[in-house]
């Protein structure tokens, strides 16, 4: 089972997956690191300070790396919804996200682009369009440990085929930051 942990940069994906990878139940693939280390990209976008991933290469490589001895492989990246059929979208209020991205020393333009993406549900909308199952978690006021527990509950429910209650609790579209630009 491959599960993507996706969301706008700064929503807590890497923090929570670093905690989850301590659990011997999960194999965690940090996709952004893999893309850069193995040069799984088609170009470098210097204007946007990023690489353009070759998602066909990325998908093939993730399948090669998937270790079937683990019950679950978790893919951490704002791109993971491009390769996983089941995803958990992490969401964070634009105000908190702005602080996190500024601490990373992102350019003003890159911060704005990511705030707009979060406010407009860009990654969530893509995930809902492309993925079989989508869960949405608001990480704004929570802790890494709390988010990890929620993800663990979702994965346990998926493995047991008991997701009805979880689908209600973590319904896509339940988080709404659309008024961010209108305040």
> What is d(CA 108, CA 122) in angstroms, rounded to the nearest whole number?
19
- Output DSSP code: residue 69: T
Q: Indicate the pTM of the whole model.
A: 0.91
- Digit-by-digit pLDDT tens for the chain (183 residues) are 899 999 999 999 999 999 999 999 999 999 999 999 999 888 877 777 777 888 999 999 999 999 989 999 999 999 999 999 999 999 999 999 999 999 999 989 889 999 999 999 999 999 999 999 999 999 999 999 999 999 999 999 999 999 899 999 999 999 988 887 655
State the burial class of residue 67 (Cβ atoms within 10 Å of its Cβ: 0-12, 13-18, 19+): exposed
> What is d(CA 165, CA 87) in angstroms, rounded to the nearest whole number?
16
| Number of Cα atoms under 13 Å in the Cβ half of residue 63 | 8
């Amino acid at each position: 089972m491959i599960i993507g942990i996706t969301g706008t940069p700064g929503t807590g994906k890497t923090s929570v997956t670093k905690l989850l990878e301590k659990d011997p139940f999960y194999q965690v693939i940090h996709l952004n690191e893999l893309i850069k280390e193995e040069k799984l990209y088609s170009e470098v976008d210097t204007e946007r300070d990023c690489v353009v991933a070759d998602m066909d290469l990325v998908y093939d490589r993730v399948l090669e790396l998937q270790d079937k001895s683990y019950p679950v492989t978790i893919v951490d990246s704002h791109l993971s919804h491009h390769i996983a059929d089941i995803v958990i979208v992490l969401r964070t209020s634009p105000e908190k996200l702005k602080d996190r991205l500024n601490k990373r020393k992102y350019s003003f333009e890159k911060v704005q682009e990511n705030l707009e993406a979060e406010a407009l549900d860009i990654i969530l909308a893509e995930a809902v369009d492309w993925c079989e199952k989508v869960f949405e978690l608001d990480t704004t006021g929570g802790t890494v440990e709390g988010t990890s527990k929620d993800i663990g509950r979702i994965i346990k429910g998926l493995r047991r085929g008991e997701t009805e209650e979880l689908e209600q609790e973590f319904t896509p579209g339940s988080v709404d930051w659309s008024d961010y630009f209108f305040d």
